[in-house]
Chain A
Amino acid sequence: MQTVKMVVTGPFSAGKTEFIQSVSEIDVVSTERKISSDGEKMVKEATTVAMDFGRITVDEDLVLYLFGTPGQKRFDFMWEILSEGMLGFIVMVDSARPETFREARGILQTFRAYAPTPYVVAANKQDAEDAWEVDDMRHALRLDSKIKLLPCVATNRKSVKTVLLELLYSILAEMESGG
């Protein structure tokens, strides 16, 4: 059995879990959303690392794993570990929360420094009333026109598929250009 992986990253609450859940065959292992009271939260955080993990079986001998990066900053040592060997990564950004754009830029830069793999940026929650337009987000996130910034609604499977496909097309293009 061969496996490949992609990483889904982005600020807390950007929609990483939702994104992976929309296409995964298995229930995404995520503890973050189940946390209710503060007391419970402390106990759970001590015992579980809130991390998403999804799977798409391609055929008998190929499986794609999707890893969501843990939201809390104190787990960011995991980023480098997770990014090892990834085919590419997706940066999720909540289009309706400009207060997270700075963090998103930082996360993007961090991952670019880890690995030279292709990536796409998903302008998520485009269905939200306060969502910024994709063109405005491109400038706010300081993305070069060559970088794919895709409108996304993570709760919508078709939308998630498009983002994954765009990343795969970028990977293929990179391979064909000899990169």
Chain B
Amino acid sequence: MALRGNLRDFTITQLLNLINLAHKTGTLIVDGPNETAQVAFREGKLAYAAIGQEDNSLATILHKGSKLTANQYLAIKQRSDHVSDKELGLLLINAGYVSQEDILASLQQYFIDITRRLFTWVEGFFRFENDMLPPEDRINIRLDLENLIIEGSRQLREWEQLQDEIPSLEMALKFTDRPGANLRNINLSVEEWRVVSYITPKNTISQIAKATKMNELEIRRIVYGLLQAGLVEIVRPEGAPLPMTSNMFPTQDKEEQKSLVNRLIKRIRSM
């Protein structure tokens, strides 16, 4: 049932990755050091965010994004108590003050800002409430998470943590065949592109590091980001010798080996 834990052990970036891959719908609630944040998702896309007591009404967000003048803002704030964000948005569009794109872009910027602030929280309890969605009257967006994930993974990682995640540089990388993971839509850095251009199951990570003149820390950091964003997976290098298969079985005969496995299956079934 529970999708909960502490950011110490499971980072915001990892959570975004999970939400993205599992196409989750619901709200992530994070109790940070000083305030609580709520970020809502629909089918794995960012829909809405709120933090602490911060005013996230449409009027305030538009004003902060310089889409409304101080006077317009004041007028709305003083007299639109009973108007929902959705209604206000429509009124403003119809009156020609802002476009629908303006509204969505301002909301997107604000929600991204909140998520970026969460990246800096190293501690705090989180839980994901399935199917809990933002209030009906709020305007939602639909933002792919990949870029946020890659951005979050670029945040400095502890050397030890990177070593835990990528213990062996003698493994290779391969692009995941996950639908929706499209490199072209992702803002990769120059270094990341250089690494990406060498990715094939034939090249080990250490060979890629050599080719791109990166040290172990640099290559691990980049590979970690790509892993987190779900773009690549670690595989055994193609054509590498298979060192330890020879003595798996007491016999080299293929049919005898199969019969042996079948005997094991039969035995365990009968237990």
Contact = CB atoms under 8 A, between A and B. Distances in A.
Interface size class for chain A? Answer: 35 or more
A110 B258 contact: no
A174 B158 CA distance: 37
Contacts of B193: none
A115 interface: yes
Contacts of A83: 244
Contacts of B230: 142
A167 B263 CA distance: 14
B268 A101 contact: no
B245 A132 contact: no
Interface string A105-127: 11001101111110000000000
A35 interface: no
Contacts of A59: 263, 267
A14 B149 CA distance: 29
Interface in A56-72: 56, 58-59, 62, 64
Nearest to B6: A99
Interface size class for chain B? Answer: 35 or more
Interface string B233-264: 11010000011110111110010011011111
Contact of A142 (B170, B227, B243): B227
Interface in B1-33: 1-6, 8-10, 14, 17-18, 21-22
Nearest to A22: B271
Given A84-B247, A85-B247, A103 B2 contact: no
B22 A117 contact: no
A64 B248 CA distance: 12
B170 A58 contact: no
Interface string A61-92: 01010000000000000000001111100000
9 contacts: A23-B268, A62-B260, A86-B248, A87-B261, A99-B5, A109-B234, A110-B168, A129-B2, A157-B271
